[in-house]
Structure 1
Amino acid sequence: MSVLNSPALRRLRSRKAAVAGVAVASAAAVGLTLVPTDADAGTTAEVAAAAPVSWKVDPAQAAKVQESIATQQSSFEAQVKAQLEKKKAEAEAAKKKAEAEKKAEAEKKAKAAAEKRAEEKAAADRKARAAKPAKVTYPNNLDGWIREALSIMKKHDIPGSYEGIHRNIMRESSGNPLAINNWDINARNGVPSKGLLQVIKPTFDAYHVAGTKKDQYDPVANIVAACNYAADRYGSMDNVDSAY
Protein backbone atom coordinates (compact mmCIF):
# COMPACT_ATOMS: atom_id res chain seq x y z
CA MET A 1 0.00 0.00 0.00
CA SER A 2 1.30 3.43 -0.88
CA VAL A 3 2.30 5.68 2.02
CA LEU A 4 0.40 8.57 0.42
CA ASN A 5 -2.81 6.54 0.59
CA SER A 6 -2.39 5.02 4.04
CA PRO A 7 -5.34 4.98 6.50
CA ALA A 8 -3.48 7.19 8.95
CA LEU A 9 -2.79 9.84 6.32
CA ARG A 10 -6.39 9.74 5.16
CA ARG A 11 -7.57 10.19 8.76
CA LEU A 12 -5.28 13.24 9.12
CA ARG A 13 -6.62 14.73 5.92
CA SER A 14 -10.20 14.09 7.06
CA ARG A 15 -9.56 15.87 10.35
CA LYS A 16 -8.03 18.86 8.56
CA ALA A 17 -11.02 19.05 6.24
CA ALA A 18 -13.36 18.93 9.21
CA VAL A 19 -11.50 21.76 10.93
CA ALA A 20 -11.55 23.84 7.72
CA GLY A 21 -15.26 23.15 7.38
CA VAL A 22 -15.85 24.36 10.89
CA ALA A 23 -13.89 27.59 10.21
CA VAL A 24 -15.83 28.32 7.02
CA ALA A 25 -19.15 27.59 8.63
CA SER A 26 -18.28 29.79 11.61
CA ALA A 27 -17.41 32.72 9.34
CA ALA A 28 -20.62 32.30 7.32
CA ALA A 29 -22.74 32.17 10.46
CA VAL A 30 -21.09 35.40 11.87
CA GLY A 31 -19.10 33.68 14.54
CA LEU A 32 -21.60 30.93 15.49
CA THR A 33 -19.97 27.93 17.21
CA LEU A 34 -20.80 24.76 15.24
CA VAL A 35 -20.21 21.41 16.94
CA PRO A 36 -19.92 18.11 14.96
CA THR A 37 -22.36 15.41 16.19
CA ASP A 38 -21.62 12.27 14.19
CA ALA A 39 -17.85 12.43 13.99
CA ASP A 40 -16.08 9.93 16.17
CA ALA A 41 -12.38 9.88 16.81
CA GLY A 42 -12.43 6.09 16.73
CA THR A 43 -14.21 5.58 13.37
CA THR A 44 -12.35 4.60 10.30
CA ALA A 45 -11.42 7.03 7.56
CA GLU A 46 -13.77 5.25 5.16
CA VAL A 47 -16.83 5.66 7.47
CA ALA A 48 -15.96 9.32 8.19
CA ALA A 49 -15.69 10.02 4.47
CA ALA A 50 -18.93 8.26 3.63
CA ALA A 51 -21.16 9.58 6.45
CA PRO A 52 -22.77 13.05 6.06
CA VAL A 53 -21.64 15.73 8.50
CA SER A 54 -24.31 17.73 10.38
CA TRP A 55 -23.80 20.84 12.54
CA LYS A 56 -25.68 22.04 15.62
CA VAL A 57 -26.01 25.81 16.52
CA ASP A 58 -25.36 26.76 20.15
CA PRO A 59 -28.33 29.05 21.07
CA ALA A 60 -26.47 30.80 23.89
CA GLN A 61 -23.50 31.59 21.71
CA ALA A 62 -25.78 32.75 18.85
CA ALA A 63 -27.60 35.08 21.25
CA LYS A 64 -24.28 36.54 22.38
CA VAL A 65 -23.24 37.07 18.75
CA GLN A 66 -26.56 38.76 17.91
CA GLU A 67 -26.25 40.94 21.01
CA SER A 68 -22.71 41.90 20.03
CA ILE A 69 -23.85 42.76 16.49
CA ALA A 70 -26.72 44.85 17.85
CA THR A 71 -24.39 46.64 20.27
CA GLN A 72 -21.90 47.37 17.49
CA GLN A 73 -24.70 48.59 15.21
CA SER A 74 -26.08 50.86 17.95
CA SER A 75 -22.60 52.19 18.65
CA PHE A 76 -22.03 52.83 14.94
CA GLU A 77 -25.41 54.56 14.59
CA ALA A 78 -24.66 56.67 17.66
CA GLN A 79 -21.30 57.67 16.20
CA VAL A 80 -22.90 58.57 12.87
CA LYS A 81 -25.63 60.55 14.64
CA ALA A 82 -23.04 62.35 16.79
CA GLN A 83 -21.00 63.24 13.70
CA LEU A 84 -24.10 64.53 11.90
CA GLU A 85 -25.13 66.59 14.93
CA LYS A 86 -21.59 67.93 15.24
CA LYS A 87 -21.54 68.96 11.58
CA LYS A 88 -24.98 70.53 11.95
CA ALA A 89 -23.87 72.44 15.04
CA GLU A 90 -20.71 73.59 13.26
CA ALA A 91 -22.79 74.73 10.26
CA GLU A 92 -25.19 76.63 12.56
CA ALA A 93 -22.28 78.23 14.40
CA ALA A 94 -20.65 79.23 11.10
CA LYS A 95 -23.96 80.66 9.88
CA LYS A 96 -24.47 82.67 13.09
CA LYS A 97 -20.89 83.90 12.95
CA ALA A 98 -21.32 85.00 9.33
CA GLU A 99 -24.59 86.77 10.19
CA ALA A 100 -22.96 88.47 13.20
CA GLU A 101 -20.01 89.60 11.08
CA LYS A 102 -22.39 90.85 8.39
CA LYS A 103 -24.44 92.76 10.99
CA ALA A 104 -21.30 94.21 12.56
CA GLU A 105 -20.05 95.31 9.14
CA ALA A 106 -23.41 96.93 8.36
CA GLU A 107 -23.39 98.74 11.72
CA LYS A 108 -19.82 99.85 11.10
CA LYS A 109 -20.75 101.25 7.69
CA ALA A 110 -23.85 102.96 9.12
CA LYS A 111 -21.77 104.51 11.91
CA ALA A 112 -19.14 105.67 9.43
CA ALA A 113 -21.86 107.17 7.21
CA ALA A 114 -23.44 108.94 10.21
CA GLU A 115 -20.07 110.31 11.30
CA LYS A 116 -19.39 111.49 7.76
CA ARG A 117 -22.78 113.25 7.61
CA ALA A 118 -22.09 114.87 10.99
CA GLU A 119 -18.67 116.04 9.81
CA GLU A 120 -20.14 117.41 6.58
CA LYS A 121 -22.88 119.22 8.51
CA ALA A 122 -20.34 120.66 10.95
CA ALA A 123 -18.18 121.82 8.04
CA ALA A 124 -21.21 123.38 6.34
CA ASP A 125 -22.18 125.13 9.58
CA ARG A 126 -18.67 126.48 10.00
CA LYS A 127 -18.68 127.69 6.42
CA ALA A 128 -22.07 129.33 6.88
CA ARG A 129 -20.92 131.05 10.06
CA ALA A 130 -17.76 132.23 8.33
CA ALA A 131 -19.75 133.57 5.37
CA LYS A 132 -22.34 135.26 7.57
CA PRO A 133 -20.91 138.07 9.65
CA ALA A 134 -21.54 137.78 13.34
CA LYS A 135 -24.36 139.90 14.65
CA VAL A 136 -22.98 143.04 16.22
CA THR A 137 -24.43 144.09 19.52
CA TYR A 138 -24.29 147.64 20.75
CA PRO A 139 -24.42 148.90 24.30
CA ASN A 140 -27.64 150.55 25.40
CA ASN A 141 -26.15 154.04 25.79
CA LEU A 142 -25.49 157.14 23.69
CA ASP A 143 -22.31 155.71 22.19
CA GLY A 144 -24.04 152.45 21.25
CA TRP A 145 -27.08 154.28 19.77
CA ILE A 146 -24.90 156.49 17.54
CA ARG A 147 -22.77 153.58 16.31
CA GLU A 148 -25.82 151.40 15.58
CA ALA A 149 -27.46 154.31 13.73
CA LEU A 150 -24.28 154.81 11.65
CA SER A 151 -24.29 151.12 10.62
CA ILE A 152 -27.91 151.45 9.40
CA MET A 153 -27.18 154.77 7.66
CA LYS A 154 -24.27 153.13 5.84
CA LYS A 155 -26.57 150.46 4.40
CA HIS A 156 -28.94 153.15 3.11
CA ASP A 157 -26.22 155.56 1.91
CA ILE A 158 -27.18 158.27 4.41
CA PRO A 159 -24.17 160.55 5.11
CA GLY A 160 -23.09 161.59 8.60
CA SER A 161 -20.26 161.11 11.06
CA TYR A 162 -20.05 160.15 14.71
CA GLU A 163 -18.79 163.64 15.58
CA GLY A 164 -21.55 165.46 13.66
CA ILE A 165 -24.31 163.34 15.19
CA HIS A 166 -22.92 163.51 18.74
CA ARG A 167 -22.48 167.30 18.53
CA ASN A 168 -26.07 167.92 17.43
CA ILE A 169 -27.51 165.47 19.98
CA MET A 170 -25.77 167.26 22.84
CA ARG A 171 -27.13 170.62 21.62
CA GLU A 172 -30.70 169.38 21.04
CA SER A 173 -31.32 167.01 23.98
CA SER A 174 -28.12 166.64 26.04
CA GLY A 175 -28.30 162.92 25.25
CA ASN A 176 -31.76 162.32 26.73
CA PRO A 177 -33.81 160.08 24.39
CA LEU A 178 -37.04 161.09 26.17
CA ALA A 179 -36.51 164.83 25.76
CA ILE A 180 -39.50 166.81 24.49
CA ASN A 181 -39.95 170.51 23.58
CA ASN A 182 -43.27 171.80 24.81
CA TRP A 183 -42.72 175.56 24.30
CA ASP A 184 -41.56 176.30 20.70
CA ILE A 185 -43.73 176.92 17.64
CA ASN A 186 -43.94 173.21 16.86
CA ALA A 187 -45.29 172.52 20.33
CA ARG A 188 -47.83 175.30 19.95
CA ASN A 189 -48.87 173.70 16.65
CA GLY A 190 -49.41 170.36 18.43
CA VAL A 191 -46.38 168.59 17.02
CA PRO A 192 -43.64 168.96 19.65
CA SER A 193 -40.09 167.95 18.89
CA LYS A 194 -39.07 164.69 20.58
CA GLY A 195 -36.06 162.46 21.15
CA LEU A 196 -32.29 162.81 20.88
CA LEU A 197 -32.35 165.04 17.80
CA GLN A 198 -35.72 166.70 18.53
CA VAL A 199 -37.62 165.55 15.44
CA ILE A 200 -41.32 166.40 14.98
CA LYS A 201 -43.77 163.63 14.08
CA PRO A 202 -44.39 164.62 10.41
CA THR A 203 -40.64 164.78 9.72
CA PHE A 204 -40.02 161.49 11.53
CA ASP A 205 -42.75 159.74 9.54
CA ALA A 206 -41.53 161.17 6.23
CA TYR A 207 -37.87 160.26 6.76
CA HIS A 208 -38.29 157.08 8.78
CA VAL A 209 -35.93 154.31 7.57
CA ALA A 210 -37.17 150.74 7.24
CA GLY A 211 -35.69 148.38 9.77
CA THR A 212 -35.92 150.85 12.65
CA LYS A 213 -38.78 151.26 15.10
CA LYS A 214 -41.62 153.64 14.27
CA ASP A 215 -41.20 155.45 17.56
CA GLN A 216 -39.89 159.02 17.90
CA TYR A 217 -38.49 158.22 21.31
CA ASP A 218 -36.51 155.21 20.08
CA PRO A 219 -32.92 156.54 20.08
CA VAL A 220 -31.68 154.70 16.97
CA ALA A 221 -34.82 155.36 14.92
CA ASN A 222 -34.72 159.05 15.96
CA ILE A 223 -31.08 159.49 14.92
CA VAL A 224 -31.47 157.72 11.57
CA ALA A 225 -34.63 159.65 10.60
CA ALA A 226 -33.10 162.99 11.66
CA CYS A 227 -29.88 162.28 9.70
CA ASN A 228 -31.92 161.23 6.67
CA TYR A 229 -33.81 164.55 6.87
CA ALA A 230 -30.58 166.55 7.39
CA ALA A 231 -28.97 164.83 4.39
CA ASP A 232 -31.94 165.77 2.23
CA ARG A 233 -31.98 169.40 3.38
CA TYR A 234 -28.36 170.21 4.35
CA GLY A 235 -26.33 167.49 2.66
CA SER A 236 -25.38 165.86 5.99
CA MET A 237 -25.97 166.16 9.72
CA ASP A 238 -22.34 167.26 9.86
CA ASN A 239 -23.42 170.55 8.21
CA VAL A 240 -26.00 171.33 10.94
CA ASP A 241 -24.81 173.72 13.69
CA SER A 242 -28.10 175.07 15.01
CA ALA A 243 -31.79 174.36 15.08
CA TYR A 244 -32.80 172.74 11.82
Structure 2
Amino acid sequence: MPKNRILPGIGSALTRTRELTTDRIRPAFDNAKDKARSLPLGRILPADGSTLTRTHKLGLGGVAALGTAAIALTVVPTGGGAQAAARPATEQVSLQTTASHQIQDVHASVTSQLAGADQQAKTAAAKLKTQQDAEKAKAAAKKAAAAKKAAAAKKAAKERAAKAAANRSTVRKPVYANNLDGWIKESLSILKKHRIPASYDGIHRNVIRESSGNPKAINNWDINAINGIPSKGLLQVIPPTFKTYHVKGTSWNIYDPVANITAACNYAADRYGSMDNVNSAY
Protein backbone atom coordinates (compact mmCIF):
# COMPACT_ATOMS: atom_id res chain seq x y z
CA MET A 1 0.00 0.00 0.00
CA PRO A 2 1.39 3.43 -0.78
CA LYS A 3 2.87 5.25 2.23
CA ASN A 4 0.78 8.31 1.60
CA ARG A 5 -2.33 6.20 2.29
CA ILE A 6 -1.03 4.34 5.41
CA LEU A 7 0.00 7.39 7.46
CA PRO A 8 -3.32 9.22 7.09
CA GLY A 9 -5.05 5.95 8.13
CA ILE A 10 -2.97 5.71 11.29
CA GLY A 11 -3.68 9.33 12.16
CA SER A 12 -7.37 8.77 11.63
CA ALA A 13 -7.34 5.71 13.96
CA LEU A 14 -5.45 7.63 16.63
CA THR A 15 -7.95 10.47 16.49
CA ARG A 16 -10.84 8.01 16.80
CA THR A 17 -9.24 6.36 19.84
CA ARG A 18 -8.89 9.74 21.55
CA GLU A 19 -12.53 10.46 20.82
CA LEU A 20 -13.53 7.15 22.36
CA THR A 21 -11.42 7.94 25.39
CA THR A 22 -13.14 11.29 25.81
CA ASP A 23 -16.68 10.18 25.03
CA ARG A 24 -16.83 6.82 26.83
CA ILE A 25 -14.26 6.80 29.62
CA ARG A 26 -14.83 10.38 30.86
CA PRO A 27 -18.39 9.55 32.10
CA ALA A 28 -16.98 6.64 34.12
CA PHE A 29 -14.39 8.97 35.66
CA ASP A 30 -17.08 11.52 36.52
CA ASN A 31 -19.27 8.75 37.99
CA ALA A 32 -16.38 7.59 40.17
CA LYS A 33 -15.78 11.13 41.39
CA ASP A 34 -19.50 11.58 42.18
CA LYS A 35 -19.65 8.32 44.15
CA ALA A 36 -16.55 9.28 46.08
CA ARG A 37 -18.08 12.66 46.87
CA SER A 38 -21.36 11.02 47.98
CA LEU A 39 -19.69 9.36 50.95
CA PRO A 40 -20.55 11.39 54.11
CA LEU A 41 -17.48 13.28 55.22
CA GLY A 42 -18.53 12.75 58.88
CA ARG A 43 -18.16 9.00 58.36
CA ILE A 44 -14.71 9.36 56.75
CA LEU A 45 -13.02 11.96 58.96
CA PRO A 46 -13.63 12.54 62.68
CA ALA A 47 -15.45 15.83 63.28
CA ASP A 48 -13.43 16.82 66.34
CA GLY A 49 -9.98 16.13 64.88
CA SER A 50 -9.42 13.15 67.21
CA THR A 51 -7.58 9.92 66.31
CA LEU A 52 -9.01 8.01 63.34
CA THR A 53 -11.29 5.14 64.36
CA ARG A 54 -11.68 1.86 62.48
CA THR A 55 -14.78 3.24 60.71
CA HIS A 56 -12.88 6.36 59.54
CA LYS A 57 -10.00 4.24 58.26
CA LEU A 58 -12.40 2.06 56.28
CA GLY A 59 -13.98 5.17 54.74
CA LEU A 60 -10.62 6.65 53.74
CA GLY A 61 -9.53 3.32 52.25
CA GLY A 62 -12.69 3.18 50.16
CA VAL A 63 -12.22 6.72 48.86
CA ALA A 64 -8.61 5.96 48.00
CA ALA A 65 -9.69 2.85 46.08
CA LEU A 66 -12.32 4.82 44.15
CA GLY A 67 -9.80 7.51 43.33
CA THR A 68 -7.28 4.96 42.09
CA ALA A 69 -9.84 3.33 39.84
CA ALA A 70 -10.91 6.68 38.46
CA ILE A 71 -7.31 7.72 37.72
CA ALA A 72 -6.70 4.39 35.96
CA LEU A 73 -9.44 5.24 33.49
CA THR A 74 -7.67 8.42 32.42
CA VAL A 75 -4.42 6.63 31.57
CA VAL A 76 -5.27 6.10 27.93
CA PRO A 77 -2.38 6.46 25.47
CA THR A 78 -2.58 9.57 23.31
CA GLY A 79 0.74 9.38 21.49
CA GLY A 80 2.14 5.92 22.18
CA GLY A 81 2.63 4.95 18.57
CA ALA A 82 0.84 2.96 15.95
CA GLN A 83 0.36 -0.13 18.20
CA ALA A 84 -1.59 1.79 20.88
CA ALA A 85 -3.51 3.74 18.29
CA ALA A 86 -4.44 0.57 16.46
CA ARG A 87 -6.01 -1.11 19.64
CA PRO A 88 -9.52 -2.22 18.73
CA ALA A 89 -12.36 -0.04 19.94
CA THR A 90 -14.10 -3.09 21.48
CA GLU A 91 -11.11 -3.60 23.84
CA GLN A 92 -11.38 0.01 25.00
CA VAL A 93 -15.07 -0.46 25.71
CA SER A 94 -14.37 -3.71 27.60
CA LEU A 95 -11.77 -1.91 29.76
CA GLN A 96 -14.25 0.84 30.53
CA THR A 97 -16.95 -1.68 31.53
CA THR A 98 -14.56 -3.66 33.75
CA ALA A 99 -13.33 -0.52 35.50
CA SER A 100 -16.90 0.66 36.05
CA HIS A 101 -17.80 -2.68 37.63
CA GLN A 102 -14.73 -2.54 39.85
CA ILE A 103 -15.70 0.94 41.03
CA GLN A 104 -19.21 -0.26 41.85
CA ASP A 105 -17.81 -3.27 43.74
CA VAL A 106 -15.45 -1.05 45.76
CA HIS A 107 -18.28 1.38 46.54
CA ALA A 108 -20.54 -1.49 47.64
CA SER A 109 -17.75 -2.96 49.79
CA VAL A 110 -17.05 0.38 51.49
CA THR A 111 -20.76 0.98 52.07
CA SER A 112 -21.15 -2.51 53.54
CA GLN A 113 -18.15 -2.06 55.83
CA LEU A 114 -19.42 1.31 57.04
CA ALA A 115 -22.88 -0.17 57.68
CA GLY A 116 -21.31 -3.06 59.59
CA ALA A 117 -19.24 -0.65 61.68
CA ASP A 118 -22.36 1.41 62.44
CA GLN A 119 -24.24 -1.72 63.50
CA GLN A 120 -21.35 -2.76 65.75
CA ALA A 121 -21.33 0.70 67.30
CA LYS A 122 -25.11 0.54 67.92
CA THR A 123 -24.80 -2.95 69.42
CA ALA A 124 -21.98 -1.79 71.70
CA ALA A 125 -24.01 1.26 72.77
CA ALA A 126 -27.06 -0.90 73.53
CA LYS A 127 -24.93 -3.32 75.55
CA LEU A 128 -23.39 -0.42 77.48
CA LYS A 129 -26.83 1.03 78.21
CA THR A 130 -28.05 -2.36 79.46
CA GLN A 131 -25.03 -2.62 81.76
CA GLN A 132 -25.57 0.93 83.04
CA ASP A 133 -29.27 0.23 83.70
CA ALA A 134 -28.35 -2.95 85.56
CA GLU A 135 -25.79 -1.05 87.64
CA LYS A 136 -28.36 1.64 88.45
CA ALA A 137 -30.93 -0.96 89.50
CA LYS A 138 -28.31 -2.70 91.63
CA ALA A 139 -27.32 0.59 93.26
CA ALA A 140 -30.99 1.44 93.95
CA ALA A 141 -31.59 -1.98 95.52
CA LYS A 142 -28.46 -1.59 97.63
CA LYS A 143 -29.58 1.85 98.77
CA ALA A 144 -33.05 0.54 99.67
CA ALA A 145 -31.52 -2.35 101.62
CA ALA A 146 -29.24 0.06 103.47
CA ALA A 147 -32.18 2.32 104.32
CA LYS A 148 -34.19 -0.66 105.57
CA LYS A 149 -31.25 -1.83 107.66
CA ALA A 150 -30.76 1.66 109.10
CA ALA A 151 -34.47 1.89 109.99
CA ALA A 152 -34.32 -1.51 111.70
CA ALA A 153 -31.20 -0.49 113.60
CA LYS A 154 -32.86 2.76 114.68
CA LYS A 155 -35.94 0.90 115.89
CA ALA A 156 -33.81 -1.61 117.78
CA ALA A 157 -31.82 1.21 119.38
CA LYS A 158 -35.04 2.92 120.45
CA GLU A 159 -36.33 -0.30 121.99
CA ARG A 160 -33.03 -0.82 123.82
CA ALA A 161 -33.15 2.73 125.14
CA ALA A 162 -36.71 2.23 126.40
CA LYS A 163 -35.76 -1.05 128.03
CA ALA A 164 -32.69 0.51 129.63
CA ALA A 165 -34.81 3.39 130.95
CA ALA A 166 -37.28 0.89 132.42
CA ASN A 167 -34.42 -1.00 134.01
CA ARG A 168 -32.98 2.18 135.49
CA SER A 169 -36.41 3.04 136.86
CA THR A 170 -36.65 -0.40 138.42
CA VAL A 171 -33.17 -0.07 139.84
CA ARG A 172 -33.92 3.37 141.25
CA LYS A 173 -37.08 2.13 142.96
CA PRO A 174 -36.07 1.71 146.59
CA VAL A 175 -36.50 -1.56 148.35
CA TYR A 176 -37.72 -1.10 151.92
CA ALA A 177 -37.10 -3.49 154.75
CA ASN A 178 -40.07 -5.41 156.08
CA ASN A 179 -39.86 -3.89 159.56
CA LEU A 180 -40.90 -0.72 161.38
CA ASP A 181 -38.02 1.29 159.93
CA GLY A 182 -38.85 0.20 156.39
CA TRP A 183 -42.58 0.78 156.83
CA ILE A 184 -42.05 4.33 158.11
CA LYS A 185 -39.62 5.18 155.28
CA GLU A 186 -41.94 3.81 152.60
CA SER A 187 -44.88 5.71 154.12
CA LEU A 188 -42.85 8.94 154.12
CA SER A 189 -42.07 8.53 150.35
CA ILE A 190 -45.80 8.16 149.61
CA LEU A 191 -46.75 11.07 151.89
CA LYS A 192 -44.20 13.25 150.15
CA LYS A 193 -45.74 12.54 146.71
CA HIS A 194 -49.13 13.62 148.05
CA ARG A 195 -47.67 16.61 149.93
CA ILE A 196 -48.84 15.35 153.31
CA PRO A 197 -46.55 16.69 156.08
CA ALA A 198 -44.91 14.21 158.47
CA SER A 199 -41.51 13.24 159.84
CA TYR A 200 -39.79 10.00 160.74
CA ASP A 201 -39.52 10.92 164.40
CA GLY A 202 -43.15 12.03 164.67
CA ILE A 203 -44.41 8.79 163.13
CA HIS A 204 -42.04 6.54 165.10
CA ARG A 205 -42.95 8.17 168.42
CA ASN A 206 -46.69 7.77 167.90
CA VAL A 207 -46.38 4.18 166.62
CA ILE A 208 -44.47 3.11 169.72
CA ARG A 209 -47.07 4.73 171.98
CA GLU A 210 -50.12 3.33 170.14
CA SER A 211 -49.07 -0.24 169.24
CA SER A 212 -45.46 -0.81 170.29
CA GLY A 213 -44.72 -1.44 166.61
CA ASN A 214 -47.18 -4.35 166.20
CA PRO A 215 -49.06 -4.03 162.83
CA LYS A 216 -51.71 -6.52 164.03
CA ALA A 217 -52.52 -4.63 167.25
CA ILE A 218 -56.23 -4.11 168.06
CA ASN A 219 -57.99 -2.29 170.93
CA ASN A 220 -60.99 -4.26 172.14
CA TRP A 221 -61.77 -2.33 175.37
CA ASP A 222 -62.10 1.45 174.60
CA ILE A 223 -65.20 3.34 173.54
CA ASN A 224 -64.57 2.59 169.90
CA ALA A 225 -64.51 -1.12 170.63
CA ILE A 226 -67.72 -0.77 172.60
CA ASN A 227 -69.26 0.95 169.57
CA GLY A 228 -68.12 -1.93 167.36
CA ILE A 229 -65.36 -0.06 165.54
CA PRO A 230 -62.16 -0.97 167.44
CA SER A 231 -58.86 0.79 166.68
CA LYS A 232 -56.48 -1.33 164.60
CA GLY A 233 -52.91 -1.38 163.32
CA LEU A 234 -49.68 0.48 164.04
CA LEU A 235 -51.34 3.85 164.66
CA GLN A 236 -54.65 2.42 165.95
CA VAL A 237 -56.97 3.77 163.26
CA ILE A 238 -60.70 2.98 163.36
CA PRO A 239 -62.22 1.58 160.11
CA PRO A 240 -64.32 4.69 159.21
CA THR A 241 -61.27 6.98 159.57
CA PHE A 242 -59.08 4.60 157.54
CA LYS A 243 -61.66 4.54 154.75
CA THR A 244 -62.07 8.33 154.72
CA TYR A 245 -58.34 9.18 154.79
CA HIS A 246 -57.01 6.27 152.75
CA VAL A 247 -54.13 7.39 150.52
CA LYS A 248 -54.21 6.33 146.86
CA GLY A 249 -51.62 3.76 145.93
CA THR A 250 -51.70 1.93 149.24
CA SER A 251 -53.52 -1.22 150.30
CA TRP A 252 -57.14 -1.15 151.49
CA ASN A 253 -56.19 -3.59 154.26
CA ILE A 254 -56.27 -1.66 157.54
CA TYR A 255 -53.62 -3.99 159.02
CA ASP A 256 -51.17 -3.22 156.18
CA PRO A 257 -48.34 -1.24 157.93
CA VAL A 258 -47.77 1.31 155.15
CA ALA A 259 -51.47 1.84 154.42
CA ASN A 260 -52.19 2.27 158.17
CA ILE A 261 -49.41 4.83 158.70
CA THR A 262 -50.27 6.92 155.59
CA ALA A 263 -54.01 7.04 156.42
CA ALA A 264 -53.29 8.02 160.05
CA CYS A 265 -50.82 10.74 158.96
CA ASN A 266 -53.34 12.07 156.40
CA TYR A 267 -55.97 12.28 159.18
CA ALA A 268 -53.50 13.94 161.62
CA ALA A 269 -52.43 16.48 158.97
CA ASP A 270 -56.06 17.37 158.32
CA ARG A 271 -56.95 17.70 162.01
CA TYR A 272 -53.69 18.72 163.76
CA GLY A 273 -51.50 20.01 160.93
CA SER A 274 -49.10 17.05 161.10
CA MET A 275 -48.49 13.79 162.93
CA ASP A 276 -45.61 15.60 164.58
CA ASN A 277 -48.16 17.62 166.56
CA VAL A 278 -49.84 14.51 168.02
CA ASN A 279 -48.58 13.53 171.48
CA SER A 280 -51.44 11.44 172.86
CA ALA A 281 -54.52 9.58 171.80
CA TYR A 282 -56.09 11.28 168.81
Question: Where on the TM-score scale, by shorter chain, does this alignment land: which range?
Answer: 0.5 to 0.7
Aligned to 1:137: 174
Q: Flag the 1:25–1:181 CA change in 2: closer, same or farther, 3 A.
A: same
Residue in 1 aligned with 2:18? 17
Higher helix share goes to which structure? 2
CA distance in 2 between partners of 1:214 and 1:225 (Å): 10
How many residues are aligned here?
216
Q: Counterparts of 2:247 and 2:266 in 1: how far apart (Å)?
A: 8
Q: What pairs up with 1:149-160 in 2 under 5 angstroms?
A: 149-160=187-198
Instruction: Provide the residue aligned with 2:50 in structure 1.
Output: none
Matched, 1:53 2:89: yes
State the one-letter code of the partner of 2:89: V
Whether 1:240 and 2:241 are equivalent positions in the alignment is no
Is the contact made by 1:138 and 1:145 (CA closer than 8 Å) also made in structure 2?
no
The answer on 1:83 being equivalent to 2:121 is yes
Structure 1 residue matching 2:89: 3-state secondary structure: coil
* Contact 1:160-1:236 at 8 Å conserved across structures: yes
What is the TM-score of this pair, normalised by structure 2? 0.52
The answer for the alignment partner of 2:184 in structure 1 is 146
Q: Structure 2 CA distance, aligned partners of 1:75 and 1:231? A: 110
Q: Unpaired runs of 5+ in structure 1?
A: 1-5, 35-40
Deviation at 1:89, TM superposition (A): 3.5
TM-score (norm 1): 0.58
The one of 161, 165, 171 equivalent to 2:209 is 171
Structure 1 residue 220: Cα displacement: 2.0
Q: Could you give the per-residue CA deviations for residues 165-218 of structure 1, whole angstroms, max 9, x where no partner exists? A: 112223333333333334544334332322221211122123223443322122
Q: Retained in 1: the 8 A contact 2:184–2:258?
A: yes
Does residue 222 of structure 1 match 2:260?
yes
Amino acid in structure 2 at the alignment position of 1:81 = Q
**Equivalent residue letter for 2:210:** E
- Give the match's secondary structure for 1:196: coil
Q: Does the C-alpha gap of structure 1 residues 60 and 165 become closer, same or farther in structure 2, counting only changes over 3 Å?
A: same
CA RMSD of aligned residues (A): 5.3
Partner Cα separation in structure 1 for residue 25 and residue 229 of structure 2: 145
1:1-49 deviation line (CA, Å, top 9, x unaligned): xxxxx76994895598389568657756986x99xxxxxx978x7xx69
